[in-house]
Amino acid sequence: MALTRARKQELIAGYGAGPGAAPHAFLLSFKGVTVPQVTELRNRVRKAGGSYVVVKNTLALRAVEGGALAALAEHFQGPTAIAYTATDPVALAKALTDFVKEAPTIEFKAAVVEGRPVAAAQVRDIANLPSREELIARLLFLLQSPVVRFVRLLAAVPRSLVTVLDQVRVQKEKGETVQ
């Protein structure tokens, strides 16, 4: 069944508002994937905070014209799906690479992360990055570490003085002379 002009305009508007506006998107080839596998993939993408849409290439190219995905125009060939998110690209990349291990018929075509094109081979590298929360925790630990060491150093001086005074007290109680 052919698409009407109105339906094509709806699809273009939807693609432009969804994957076309997202700062992080992954293009996938889904040839040979079963319906239950696609359903599982959609669930995993949703859990990672993203969305998944199968696109018509010519309409998608019109919708993303002038956006970050326009740099990937040569990859809009054959069966194409886009997984995209506005929040955490690492979580989405992890969800997708985990699923690709289970369904090897799905292949990465390319990606856009932070508005920059990324080759398909680098998607696995992105998936191996620590999550945003983990990176923030590491940064806070590194920022906190010198301060903690400085406070411990400052606390060591009075602690040492108290230890020396306590030893002097113990020696006086025993009746020994203090040297």
CATH code where residue 95 lies: 3.30.70.1730
- 172 and 123 part of one domain: no
Residue 12 — very low, low, confident or very high, per pLDDT cuts 50/70/90?
Answer: confident
| Boundaries of domain holding 50 | 5-129
- 119 and 156 part of one domain: no
- 122 and 155 part of one domain: no
Q: Is 79 helix (H, G, I), strand (E, B) or coil?
A: coil
pLDDT at 112: 92
Residue 178 — very low, low, confident or very high, per pLDDT cuts 50/70/90?
Answer: low
Asked if residue 45 has pLDDT above 90, the reply is yes
- 124 and 143 part of one domain: no
- Count of other CB atoms within 10 angstroms of residue 150: 10
Asked if residue 51 has pLDDT above 60, the reply is yes
Strands 24-29 and 107-113: antiparallel
Q: With contact defined as beta carbons under 8 Å apart, do 95 and 44 qualify? A: yes
- 54 and 107 part of one domain: yes
- 171 and 102 part of one domain: no
Q: CA 31 to CA 78: how far, in whole Å?
A: 8
Considering only residues 67 and 53, tell me which one the structure prediction assigns the higher pLDDT. Answer: 53
Q: CA 81 to CA 102: how far, in whole Å?
A: 18
- 139 and 123 part of one domain: no
Kindly report, residue by residue over 82-129, the tens digit of the pLDDT: 999 988 888 899 999 999 998 888 899 999 998 889 888 888 888 888
What's the number of domains the chain is made of?
A: 2
Read off φ and ψ for residue 56, nearest 5 degrees: -90, 120
Give me the percent of the chain exceeding a pLDDT of 70: 97
pTM above 0.85, yes or no: no
- 102 and 152 part of one domain: no
The mean pLDDT of 50-62, rounded to a whole number, is 91
- 119 and 146 part of one domain: no
Mean pLDDT, the chain, as a whole number? Answer: 87
